Each structure stands twice: as C-alpha cells, then as structure tokens.
Structure 1
C-alpha cells in the first residue's frame, strides 16, 4: 500500500486551492495514508485548513522562521528529511511546485514525474507532452520514492468535512545559505486569483491597447471573474505577465472562460483545454479559437461587449 505526503502551498496563512487538488490526485492512489505537510514560520492556521480536506489522514507541521517565505531551496531539504517512509511525495504544478519539487527529487536522488493528469496505478501515470497535443503514459521505478507535480487544472478540489489530526514534525536538515529571501513584488487585485477562479475573462491582441483593456476589466468585474490575457497581449504591453494564460503562462480550468479578441494559438489553447465552457468573441470567423469554443460569436468586440454589458444589467 502507498503512503503519500502532499506538500501544502499557502500564502499569508491561507491554504491555496492547488493543495486541495493535489490531495485529490493523491487520493486516486487509494493510499493507506495521505498526509499533508505544512512548512511555515507559524503553520497553525494553514494546518487547520488542511485538516478539513476530505481524505487527509494527518497533517504534519514544520515550524521554522526560515519557512516564512516559500523558497524552494530552503524548503526542499526539510521535505527530503520528512520523506522517509513515504512512497510518494506530491506537490502542485504551480509556480510554487515547479520551483520546489525538482529540488526535492534531486535531494532524494530520483527522477520527477511532472504534470500528472491521471493516476493509472501506484507507479503509472499519464501526463501531457508537445504542448498538450499528446498524452504519454509514464512508469516510475517501483523501488524509489515517487516525486511528482500534479497538473491542478486536471483535478477537482478535495471536498471539505475532514478532521485529520495535526502533529508537529521534526525535519532536521542543514539549510542552505546561498539562497535567501530579499523581497516579493506582487500585483494587488480585488479580483479572484487567475489560477483558481471559476470564471475568467481574457483579452488578446484584438483588444488593441492597454487603454482598451479596460473593457475586459469592466466585464470581468461584472461577472465576478478573474482577468487573463494571451501572450500576444502581454508581449504588446497591454497587461502584466502574471495574467498570461497558456503554455508559457498559467494552465487554468475555470467553469467559464471568455476569450475576447484572442485568435487561439496552440500555446494559448494548451492553457484552457480543461475549461468547462469556452466562449469566444472574434471578428475573424476563421480564428482557431472557434474550433474549441463551445459558444462562438463573430463580430467586433467593441460593439459586442457594450451590448453584453448592457444585457447583464
């Protein structure tokens, strides 16, 4: 039987939704034990949230002032020390997990399985390749700890209602001195987080300018949605790069995705393949986005969006 350790992602005392999705992937193994590790300066609040996730059998807390900020090179030695006795160590395939989990795998001397989207067996998984155009089955060595990142867009959040015990853990490890926290530059917004939002409104090159992008923000606010953008819009300077959706941006799976003025390059489509309903507005009837859209509307976005805004009241 497998024993899985899930590494919690959190910020400012709030558990990220990516952790609940990673727990769902871990639960697909039908493990004997499914434990969540919370590393922080003060992990109590996050640990309580993790303990409520269905399927979690125990929450381990590692309190250390060095863990005040999520630095992969600092967290990894502690996780490697915790990993003894576990058959699997899972983390989300977010910026956090992509920074951290390769370090964990290296310290354990194993290869990492990246972006797993299904669990076929204890050591067999599927993951996307070629920008999501093909799915490959990979098999990890049965005699090694499986370190993997979970493609969160492919998994639902674990339900609430759990009541796992919380236990302080010791992670004796020598922490590196070559990496230290200097500062965090992050955009502030009252809108939902792009990676976990249920509704997303994205704009592309067709929006035309940074000033014109206000029409995207206005619609998103009316829908209570997050704002996204294509790489073309980001490269053109319309919006900051943290809003980019696609292969080199964020991989998302909202219930509703509105693609406005986005042609639909394959790199962008990779980021939204798991979205529930895709609505596309573009004046080019041959735009590739219409091939995957559930609802398509051909027309000038500057005429259609005011009409849509009025209809929404």
Structure 2
C-alpha cells in the first residue's frame, strides 16, 4: 500500500480534494493511503475523502511560514515514509515544494498539468517556454515523488464514504512559528477567476471594448478574465489570465470576446459547461469548441447584449409590479 501526503491548499482549503485525483492517477483507485496536512484552529469544514488528516493547530501564522511547514513535512516523512508528496501550486506551495525537495535530496516536478501512465512508467506534464509547449517529465530519483500542482486543473468527486481519522500533530516541530506579525492590514477585496461560475473573457479583438467587460460581467453575475495578449499589452492584470501560463478555469458559462483561441488558451479551459464566442472570423480556433458562435464586432455585441439585459430587467420589474 502506497502512502501519499498532501499539503492543504491554505487559500481555498476545499480545493485540496482535487489533489486526490492526482494521487489516483499515480497510484490507482485503491492502492494508496491519503494523508492531508491541514492547518486550523478547529476541526470544522475539513475536506472530505482523506484517510488521515494531520491537523496542526494554527491561529493563522504557521500556514504562512514556508520554513515551518517544510520542517513539519520532513518530520512526518521521517516517521511515516511517504511515497508521494503533493503540494498545491499556490504562492505558499511554490516556496514549500523546492525547500522540501532540496532537504530530501530528491527531484521536483513543478506546476504539473497532467499525469500520464505508459505501462509501469509515469509521465508528468507541465508547460514550458512561457506556455508555448507541453513537456513530459519522468522521475528518476528515489521516492518520494514530489509534485506541485497548478490549481484548477484537476477535479475530484467523492464516490464512496471514507472514514477519516483526524490526528493532532504533536511532533517536536509543533512549537510556535518563528514568524512574528508586525502589522495587520485588511486585504483589498478581490476575486479568483477559478471560483467564478460566469467569466467574461477578453482577447486581442476586445481591446477597444475592454472597459465594457466589467459592466457586462456585473450584469451577468460573473467576473472578468483575459487572454495572454491583453496581459502582455498591459491592459489586463496577470492574475486574471486564462491559459497554460495563467489559470485553469471551469466556469458554467465562458463568454470569449475577441479571443482567437490558441492552444495555450484553450488548455486553460477545463470542464466548461457552455462556451459562447464572439469573433469577427468564424474560422477562429475558439469557434470550433464553442457551443454558440456570434460573428461580429466585440463592442457592438456587448452594447446589444446590455440593451437586451436592461429590457429584460425592466419587463421583469413591470410584471412583478402587476402582482403586487
């Protein structure tokens, strides 16, 4: 029986379950024991599906200390000998993963997109050269296999109930973190496009209409995202970029406005229910994977759609008034 340790996604704890799918692809359906290293001040809202949850009592400092987390992982590995260590590719995970690999003297494959099996051999796929190519990497070092996984790529469903054992971490490393908070500031409100059910995404063809995307997104209860072209031009923030070199998204509705649909962008779309594309060219690659294609100008499309939404809202309000 293989044993896998998964580091909790401290940004979105419930997203930790997705790494169970990575574990399944590596070790099979029932050939491994899954452990989660979690940080919490209580046991509420812990992710499902893990055989063991190693809980570190934390008031918010430890889960920000990459050195402390690395020491805990090393300590757990020395006691339990994990075959695989999976780390989310968050800002914290990007600091933890190389530290752990260096301390253990083993290899690290960072930011993987896929796991493929060729007989008994495993191949880990990640982007290279700024997202322009996919590279397949085989691990030749001794166990454990250490991977960091790009958030939003893998999805996982609970197919059968798992009896989870929760243990409180009591190792020597459980002493308070060496970090000392000097000041606390309220983080500005922001959003993560990976959590949005509706995304209004702009590409090079939407440059002229980009300021209108926010208005449309607000009317549809969604958020704005962008292709790499708008990001490279400094029009959109890199945090909302969709694609291999950006974020992998799975909204229910994805409206691609002025996006050509190069493979690097399409690879950023996973399990999208409906894709609506707006493009002046019906032969754009994005059109071939779209459920609805609108051939036309981006600015004109947004203006017309906003008019339709306003009319619908007005009619709905009038009908509501008739019944009151």
Q: What TM-score bracket applies, with the shorter chain setting the length?
A: 0.7 to 0.9
Aligned to 2:103: 107
Q: Does 1:233 align with 2:230?
A: yes
Residue correspondence of structure 1 range 214-233 to structure 2 within 5 A: 214-233=211-230
* In 1: Cα distance, 2:257 partner to 2:23 partner: 36
Match of 2:269 among 259, 268, 272: 272
Structure 1 185/260 Cα, relative in aligned 2: closer, same or farther at 3 Å?
farther
Aligned residues: 299
Matched, 1:58 2:55: no
Contact 1:9 1:15 survives alignment (8 Å): yes
Residues 1:281 and 2:265 are matched in the alignment: no
How far apart, CA to CA, are the structure 2 residues paired with 1:97 and 1:76? 10
In the alignment, what sits opposite 1:257? 254
Give the distance between the partners of 1:183 and 1:106, measured in 2 at CA. 32
Correspondence for 2:93 among 86, 93, 97: 97
- Structure 2: stretches of 5+ with no match in the other structure: 313-324
Residue 299 of structure 1 aligns with which residue? 296
- Name the CA distance, whole Å, in 1 between partners of 2:185 and 2:295: 42
Mean Cα displacement is larger for which, 226-235 or 177-186?
Answer: 177-186
Within the alignment, does 1:4 sit opposite 2:4 as a pair? yes
Specify whether residues 182 and 283 from structure 1 end up closer, same or farther in structure 2 by C-alpha distance, changes over 3 A only: farther
Aligned partners of 1:116 and 1:125 also within 8 Å: no
The equivalent of 2:189 in structure 1 is: 188
Q: 1:124 maps to which residue?
A: 122
CA contact (8 A) 2:255 2:276 kept: yes
Q: Is the 8 A contact 1:72 1:100 kept in 2?
A: yes
> Which has the higher Rg, Structure 1 or Structure 2?
2
Whether contact under 8 Å (2:41, 2:58) holds in the other structure is no
Find the aligned partners of 2:258 and 2:236 in 1 and give their Cα distance: 14
Q: Secondary structure at the match of 2:138?
A: strand
| Unmatched runs of 5 consecutive residues or more in structure 1 | none
- TM-score, normalized by length of structure 1? 0.78
Q: Aligned partners of 1:301, 1:166: CA distance in 2, in Å?
A: 52
CA drift of 1:87 comes to: 1.1
Aligned: 1:202 with 2:201: yes
Equivalence for 2:82: 86
2: CA distance, partners of 1:119 / 1:304: 41
Kept after mapping to 2: 8 A contact 1:204/1:260: yes
- Given that 2:4 and 2:83 are in contact with CA atoms closer than 8 Å, whether structure 1 keeps it comes out as yes
Whole-angstrom distance in 2 between the partners of 1:179 and 1:283: 55
Q: CA deviation at 1:311?
A: 4.6
Deviates more, 1:91-100 or 1:294-303: 91-100
Paired position in structure 1 for 2:172:
172
Q: 1 CA distance for matches of 2:211 and 2:180?
A: 39
Structure 1 position 59, deviation (Å): 0.8
Change over 3 Å in CA distance of 1:247–1:137 after alignment to 2: closer
CA shift for structure 1 position 272:
2.7
